[in-house]
Structure 1
């Protein structure tokens, strides 16, 4: 054997592409960009994926169904997550092929008592969601998305709020300090440049034309008059609202060659989208039941009824297994899972935090991450050698461009994914995802090639 056969090296995947392959990558990225623009919150992303699932023949699941090989079903969890499944030819006793990703992304949430007026300007108080560099969210255009449940006369009515993404819509902003007055600010550590309590969203200036002399906060009143007119809200209805400020720009191509996508929310919709569309693309019934589990709350610990630690997945699996007379525990121990989450991409601008031999690289394909975690692999499932070998063979057999990755230098930092929560169920699990530049920033960057290889890789995994 020669050195090329004996050595392992990460190589960009472009040399392995045909003209048809290059066109397929570009076409697939266009659909992904539309998905990103539609799904800037976990609610929006869930609704968009359900719409696409139904267009591909999926139907809503209920436990009275009698399912057969090839049937396509989905189940939504409180509007913030979804399970997609294609029933396989083999019994669930022989396991499933599962991908698990998350639909939430770092953002700015509106508080429950948010509205106030100060020196003739109206603001929303906010609380940031997930791990962010707070200064990156200052002085950029933001949209408002979410829902409000209005309570009136003992009844509730839910209204969708979506302001800032349509032509002619207003935008919102968290203002920053001008450089001329920022000498003290710029001398602070990056973590202290912006205080969480200072991230107040500017939403209005013009006062109400009311003749009510008792009202001193007329700009605040003007905002409430607008919200009441558009959504039937009173200020108390903020208590039953979920509103978020997200970047008000669309996904776009990056580079002269249009080889990359810049957007908000790649983490982790860049894995959720190929996990779902890989299922949509399956022809006929796979050997094992194939499932995509897309959840909420990963960015804040995977807790809560819509997070990976909820019983939503287990309840559906119990229903499916009961219909076959199979114990869910038997299904789990024979299953395989790709924890579909992003990893950092090696950035030559910041080489000191990465380890070039082991970190993922942009343009080198789907990244397999044997372990994540920090401080001695804390918070990881650390995939077994046998599982790594099975995944390698699946990807190689399908001609997928792939690579290995980790999360930066040892003791530099690190992080976790949902992998450990699936592994805790006795499911063989390994992380697999797309490398991301500027992760958790309001504008992240990925390679279209890596995105497309995730789609091909997940599809091959479902067929295995």
Structure 2
């Protein structure tokens, strides 16, 4: 796979994945096409050497792995982790708001959303809906309106003269998107709109909408940016970019070594869920794969937690440590925090540097300023739960947690090349 092919495929993946459920569905289709076999957690598993498998939990988290041709207990597993969720605006259970003939939907802020960029964007809506179908069966279906269906208009500067110097956003009152205009006598329920969309998109006749998890998203698709197309802009680069890189790495490995990709939901809200990194999903898969030898297998293994890093912004260079300001398009970033906000240690960092140097590829290091707080990833959670040596790494980006983020066009492909080599490396430690 070449650089241009990689990025064009990435753009398709991003556009097809407006929610964690859609991202997992997209990954599942690619795994199926490559011969990976689905595993049902409710059933017995019979795993064969040299095969590919995957398990899905809640439709929004996935663990995919190759069993390899060697004894997993003594050879270990080369693991890569990422997360499927991104900060966004989620529709509330009783969302209908009617004001002066405008039909709006109440929203709840999910994760650490950078709120101001959500104004004046063309918004669409997607997610999972649980319904009672015509046969009386409860089932889930995914929907994606695809076209712009809503907008959050800014208040004109004439009505807010302090907007450019002192504007704050009230998530309760300022963020409900405008969906349409309706007569004063209108009694349309949001569930009615969902029934129409389900019938149109899925051809499914239903008796009742029983529940949903729906998110607004930027209807503008991913694209290259810059006079020389140096950058790639999209929603959800944090962290679907890492999911894509990890998936492509797993698909392109030789299959001789045991290799695994885990993409968890709910990282942006702390990872404490049945399918989050603080939950038992990955550990359960490993127990069923490795059996009583799980502890020995983990001692031979390593995890690379891939989650984007803060690139040094040319307008805000003082926000970085002067010796640790990653530059876009100059390589993936090894993330270091001695207070264990990142799980990197000298050993795991050394292995990444060694592989990267062998391939002649660039790498950088990030340490947060000593007078600023540090974010975190699934890396420390997975390391703590499993006891596995872990590295935190990521592609440098701008505008993290904005509705539209930016990365260098070269860095994703660089990380892919290193992770692919890592996943098929005969010896980790």
- TM-score, normalisation: structure 1: 0.84
Find the counterpart in structure 1 of residue 51 from structure 2: 71
2:10 corresponds to which of 32, 39, 43: 32
Match for residue 180 of structure 1? 158
Q: Does 1:343 align with 2:309?
A: yes
| Residue of structure 2 equivalent to 1:423 | 383
- Which residue in the other structure is 1:413 paired with? 373
Aligned to 1:272: 243
Matched with 2:221 is 250
| Whole-Å separation in 2 of the counterparts to 1:80 and 1:225 | 25
Partners of 2:7 and 2:67 in 1: how far apart? Answer: 28
Aligned to 1:193: 169
2:188 is the alignment partner of 1:221: yes
TM-score normalized with structure 2 length:
0.90
Matching residue of 1:319: 288
Residue 98 of structure 2 aligns to a residue whose secondary structure is strand
> In 2 relative to 1, CA 157–54 (structure 1 residues): closer, same or farther, beyond 3 Å?
closer
Q: Which runs of 5+ in 2 are unaligned?
A: none
2:262 is aligned with 1:293? yes
> Aligned pair count?
415
Return the alpha-carbon distance in structure 1 between the equivalents of residues 196 and 321 of structure 2.
55
Q: Kindly report which structure 2 residues correspond to 1:47-446, keeping only aligned pairs within 5 A, or say none.
A: 47-62=25-40, 64-94=44-74, 95-151=76-132, 155-163=137-145, 165=146, 169-188=147-166, 192-207=168-183, 217-218=185-186, 220-221=187-188, 225-231=192-198, 240-286=211-257, 289-322=258-291, 326-371=292-337, 377-406=338-367, 408-424=368-384, 425-446=386-407
Distance 2:116 2:365 in 1: 32
Q: CA deviation at 1:412?
A: 2.2
CA offsets, 1:298-355, max 9 Å, x none?
Answer: 0111111121111111111111112xxx332222222101011111011111111112
1:244 Cα deviation after fit: 0.6
Shift of 1:130: 1.1
Q: Is the 8 A contact 2:343 2:383 kept in 1?
A: no
| Greater Rg by CA | 1
Q: CA deviation at 1:382?
A: 4.2
Instruction: Give the deviation of 1:457 after TM superposition.
Output: 1.0
CA contact (8 A) 2:231 2:406 kept: yes
State the 1:108 CA deviation.
0.6
Counterpart CA distance in 1 for 2:353 and 2:61 is: 29
Distance in 1 of aligned mates of 2:304 and 2:191: 46
Give the distance between the partners of 2:109 and 2:250, measured in 1 at CA: 33
The CA deviation at 1:379 is: 4.9
